[in-house]
Amino acid sequence: MARKFRLTLAQLNPTVGDIAGNAAKARAAWQAGRAAGADLVALPEMFITGYNTQDLVMKPAFHRAAIAALDALAADCADGPALAIGGPVTEDGRLYNGYLILNGGRVASRVRKHDLPNETVFDEVRLFDAGPLGGPYSVSGTRIGSPICEDAWHPDVAETLAETGAEFLLVPNGSPYYRGKMDDRFNHMVARTVETGLPLIYLNMVGGQDDQVFDGASFALNPGGGLAVQLPDFDEAIETIELAETAEGWRIAKGPLAHIPDTWEQDYRAMVVSVRDYFAKTGFSKALLGLSGGVDSALVAVIAADALGPENLRCVMLPSEYTSQASLDDARAVADALGCRYDTVPIGPARAAVTDTLAPLFAGLEPDITEENIQSRLRGLLLMAMSNKFGEMLLTTGNKSEMAVGYATIYGDMAGGYNPLKDLYKTRVFETCRWRNANHRDWMRGPTGVVIPPRIIDKPPSAELREDQKDEDSLPPYEVLDAILHGLVDEEASVADIVARGFDEAVVKRVEHLLYLAEYKRFQSAPGTRLTMRSFWLDRRYPIVNRWRDPG
């Protein structure tokens, strides 16, 4: 009779630092696997600590607590299937990113990550020692190889496991989302199945952690890359799959094949999940934001409503004499469409008080950007006061284009605890608004239909800090600006490279200058959803003081 192996995949959402809570999730998954008759229940990379821990994992008290929790979990889960779970491993004064197999009341096997990622958001060379190339571990008489995350993006670990007797590969991951990530994952994992001739199960976590969003989308491939199982993206899932030994080797039985949506939906879902989990994991349940009548704040309001529910959102209009009636009408229309609370707090009296206070110092000087920034900073002050008073986290609304060139007021409209648009260029803001107006999903807590009036999307953007102000008075058209920024930021292209694409050299150099000049603002900006491999924070780390400019 052919051998079979039942494997329960637990695609779950841990919280960094919540060791007891993560252990409870692992225990519940193990119980579900035991009920399903599993031989092994598997959880993702570094699950017991949450991921990405950054330097927290190096704190001895922390990793000792995690290791103790794993020992206790092994004892709790003695009577049933084996449990595979990611966590720290220490040995001879060294710290490893490990994958532990709990079986029979003890830690039966320990896998140590070999290939440590040290780019984009990862600093694992800083955190961990590299483990040796090792062999498989055995569960129910079946030999399993577990390349840990990055280990499977290179051939050496998987090939070593195949050569030393692994019968299939189980790859635990803490793999955060970026646009196009699924294609990258499939390409690398298919290559491993081709090279080794082994089935491969790719198990990823879900949930938001600071700027990063783990999108799940776990899958299983048979040799040659045939897709046998696809779990949903962004949702928690516990699924038991079955492998059987055939004359050609082990094969994964066909299982659920969840639909993976396009990048517009994935980006939007990532922003919603990041807001939802940032609030939940930091202890907030309610949000507020300044609703200006513009497209950015409208989109953030809808994201917040979809993440938290309209009943947990307060939108505040803070008008000045420069605020148009159209903006007042548009802000109200968004709040009405969402069904959230809407307050109006005019800044005129506060602005007059500040102007009078500064008048002796500013006497004889012409009004300039100083007075414009006072308006923005008054709005930030008032919104933060409301945040403190009502216990509602303030969301900030600057898009990636504005963050890139510093078209934002530090301690003003940059004030806030989180920014879902931080990695979304302005041109994509417009299209994302159109996408949300045309689409609604079960995971959205906001209403269906057109929630952002098309006139908000179509009107010329303006900060409305002076008479007849338009963004294009200070910046190139967003189609031009975003194309230049994509070259400078996302591609690290030179000025000459971008000029060769048909852009005016003076404009490119001006944008580059603004990009470098705004570094100090970004350094103090709120965290925000990572959507690309060149987001502003851990992906792109430039000095604040920097006098170099590309000569072209």
Residues 69 and 24 in one domain: yes
3-state SS string for 54-117: HHHHHCHHHHHHHHHHHHHHHHHCCCCCEEEEEEEEEECCEEEEEEEEEECCEEEEEEECCCCC
Residues 248 and 376 in one domain: no
Is the model's pTM score more than 0.75?
yes
Residue 289 lies in a domain: yes
Residues 208 and 280 in one domain: no
Domain boundary among 469, 495, 520: 469
| CATH for 167 | 3.60.110.10
- Is 365 or 463 the better-scoring residue by pLDDT? 365
Burial letters 147-185, b for 16+ CB under 10 A, else e: bbbbbbbeeebbebbbeeebbbbbbbbbbbbbbebbeeb
Residue 302 burial (C-beta neighbours within 10 Å; 0-12, 13-18, 19+)? buried
Residues 314 and 442 in one domain: yes
Beta pairing partners, 7: 40, 241
Residue whose pair of structure tokens reads 């129910």 in the numeric block: 140
Beta-sheet strands, E only, within 163-248: 168-173, 200-204, 206-209, 212-215, 219-222, 226-230, 237-246
Strand 4-11 relative to strand 237-246, pairing = antiparallel
Domain containing residue 335: 264-469
Sheet strands side by side (includes 219-222):
137-139, 142-145, 168-173, 200-204, 219-222, 226-230
Residues 403-447: pLDDT tens digits?
999 999 999 999 999 999 999 999 999 999 999 999 999 999 999
Residues 312 and 416 in one domain: yes
SS3 242: strand
Active site residues: 45, 113, 149
Residue 528 lies in a domain: no
| CATH for 411 | 3.40.50.620
User: Does 201 have pLDDT greater than 70?
Assistant: yes
Residues 55 and 103 in one domain: yes
Q: Which two tokens stand for residue 461?
A: 């953007």
User: Does 1 have pLDDT greater than 70?
Assistant: no
Residues 245 and 336 in one domain: no
User: Does 463 have pLDDT greater than 80?
Assistant: no
For the segment 197-212, the average pLDDT, to the nearest whole number, is 98
- Mean pLDDT of the chain, nearest integer: 96
Residues 286 and 163 in one domain: no
Strand 82-91 relative to strand 94-103, pairing = antiparallel
Strand 200-204 relative to strand 137-139, pairing = unpaired
User: Does 28 have pLDDT greater than 90?
Assistant: yes
Q: Which two tokens stand for residue 484?
A: 């230049």
Contact 215, 293 (CB under 8 A): no
User: Does 49 have pLDDT greater than 80?
Assistant: yes
User: Does 399 have pLDDT greater than 80?
Assistant: yes
Please report which confidence band the pLDDT of residue 467 belongs to, taking 50, 70 and 90 as the band edges. confident
Q: What is the pLDDT of residue 473?
A: 77
Q: Largest Cα–Cα distance of the chain, in whole Å?
A: 95
Contact 167, 252 (CB under 8 A): no
Share of the chain above pLDDT 70, in %: 100
Residue 356 lies in a domain: yes
Residues 236-261: pLDDT tens digits?
999 999 999 999 999 999 999 999 99
Residues 110-122: pLDDT tens digits?
999 999 999 999 9
SS3 527: coil
Residues 480-535: pLDDT tens digits?
999 999 999 999 999 999 999 999 999 999 999 999 999 999 999 999 999 999 99
Residues 67-111: pLDDT tens digits?
999 999 999 999 999 999 999 999 999 999 999 999 999 999 999
Residues 219 and 288 in one domain: no
Residue 477 lies in a domain: no
User: Does 468 have pLDDT greater than 90?
Assistant: no
SS3 36: coil
Q: Which two tokens stand for residue 130?
A: 């590299």
Residues 217 and 156 in one domain: yes
Domain boundary among 256, 277, 312: 256
For the segment 121-147, the average pLDDT, to the nearest whole number, is 96
Peptide bond into 52 cis (omega under 30): yes
Residue 438 neighbours by CB under 8 Å, 6+ apart: none
Q: What is the pLDDT of residue 26?
A: 98
Q: Count how many domains the chain has.
A: 2
Residues 144 and 273 in one domain: no
* DSSP-assigned letter for residue 287: E
Q: What is the pLDDT of residue 474?
A: 80
Domain boundary among 442, 469, 496: 469
Beta pairing partners, 138: 143
Residue 474 lies in a domain: no
Residue 509 lies in a domain: no
For the segment 39-57, the average pLDDT, to the nearest whole number, is 97
Residue 501 lies in a domain: no
Residues 146 and 292 in one domain: no
Question: From its phi and psi, is residue 54 left (phi > 0), alpha (psi between -120 and 50) or beta?
Answer: left
Residue 502 lies in a domain: no
